Amino acid sequence: MSREESAFEIWDVHVHLAGIAGQTPADRLGKLLEYADRLGIRRVCVFMGTTFQYDPSPEEMAQANREVRQAIERFPDRAFGFVYLNPNHLSASLDELNRHVADGPMVGVKLWVAKRCADPALDPLVERATELKAVVLQHTWLKTTGNLPGESTPQDLAVLAGRHPETTFIAAHSGGNWEYGLRAVRPYGNILVDLCGFDPTAGVTEMAVRTLGAERILFGSDAPGRSFATQLGKVLGADISADAKRLILGENLRRILRPILQQKGIRL
């Protein structure tokens, strides 16, 4: 790969296995990568299993992580895995974190809607993730229609990030209602945002760059529920500089994953 080509390599921080057909998790990921290829997306971060569980039991959590592991091990040069944890099952979550990140190939943590993330119950998970140099991706939404009981707002993540300044967090979906979410996380330099999982509303990427700086923004798709294309359009269609687009499309994700990848001996 030439140097110029490498500069355009697109990495997607937010991909799932649920919502696309396939005999096995690896088959599902293979199909997703065929679509990713059509848009020049080179690497994807995958988390959660072939079914979504709001508040998974330890067994369901383990199953989801086994499925992701099976999928990413089929495509080691195309996919990274984030381990799915449930703060309502702390001991089991720590076991999963050790199994798949400390002793396995995964490089990040995914937290969804089981418990609002400002809760101190998350602290042991975040502390262990930080020891392992894993990034922590937390679903955040601030829905006009009302959140789920355990669904974190971007304000919740700001509280958590304030307690853990050494941890690298990703506010998934930029808080959904991004005009609020971007403001909520702005003071916390250890929070980046991903741009996925809501409509390709014009202005989001421009405001994100204005508010946070391009260094704190990540491209993500939320595929297969969302289209790779519509979410990529948020970056490619934005009135921001070419340098900012390069950062958002891949360079930022490579930067925040570099410590754990180096620790695992993974060369890019």
Partner 1 sequence: MTGSENTWTLDRRAFLISTGIMGLAQGGIALANMCQEQETCVGGLEAGGPQCIVDTNVYLFRWPFRRVSDDSTEKLVARLRRYGVVEAWAASLEGVFHADMRGVNQRLVKECARWSDLLRPCGTIHPGLPDWEEDFRHCVDDCGMKVLRLFPNYHGYPLDSPVVEALLLMAAKRGVLIQIVVEMEDSRTQPYLFRVPPVDLAPLERLLKRIPDVTIMLLNAHRTCSPTQLRRWMESGRVFVDLNMLEGVGGIERLVETVPVERVCFGSFVPLFYFAAAWLKMRESRLAPEVQQTIASGNARHLLEGLLTG
Which span sits near partner 1 by CB under 8 A: 51-59, 98-106, 162-170, 232-240? 232-240
For position 18 contacting partner 1 by CB under 8 A, the verdict is: no
Q: Which of 40, 120, 187, 213 binds partner 1 (CB under 8 A)?
A: 40
* 113 scored as a contact of partner 1 (CB under 8 A): no
**At 65, phi and psi to the nearest 5?**
-70, -35
Q: Can residue 220 be called a binding residue for partner 1 (CB under 8 A)? A: no
- Position 250 contacts partner 1 (CB under 8 A): no
Q: Is 39 a binder of partner 1 (CB under 8 A)? A: yes
Tell me how far apart the alpha carbons of residues 172 and 89 are, in angstroms, rounded to a whole number.
22
Beta strand 108-111 with 169-175: parallel, antiparallel or unpaired? unpaired
What distance in Å separates the CA atoms of residue 237 and residue 244, rounded to the nearest whole number? 12
Q: How far is the CB of 265 from partner 1 (least distance, A)?
A: 22
Q: What is the CA radius of gyration of the chain?
A: 17
* Preceding amide of 165 cis, omega within 30: no
Q: Max Cα separation, the chain? A: 49
Minimum CB–partner distance for residue 246 and partner 1 (Å): 9
Instruction: For the segment 68-107, give every residue that binds partner 1 (CB under 8 A).
Output: 77-78
Please name the residue that has the structure tokens 């595929």: 223
Q: Check binding of 148 to partner 1 (CB under 8 A).
A: no
Amino acid letter for position 228: F
Residue ranges binding partner 1 (CB under 8 A): 1, 5, 8, 10, 19-20, 32-35, 37-40, 42, 77-78, 141, 143-145, 176-179, 198-203, 206, 223-239, 241-242, 245
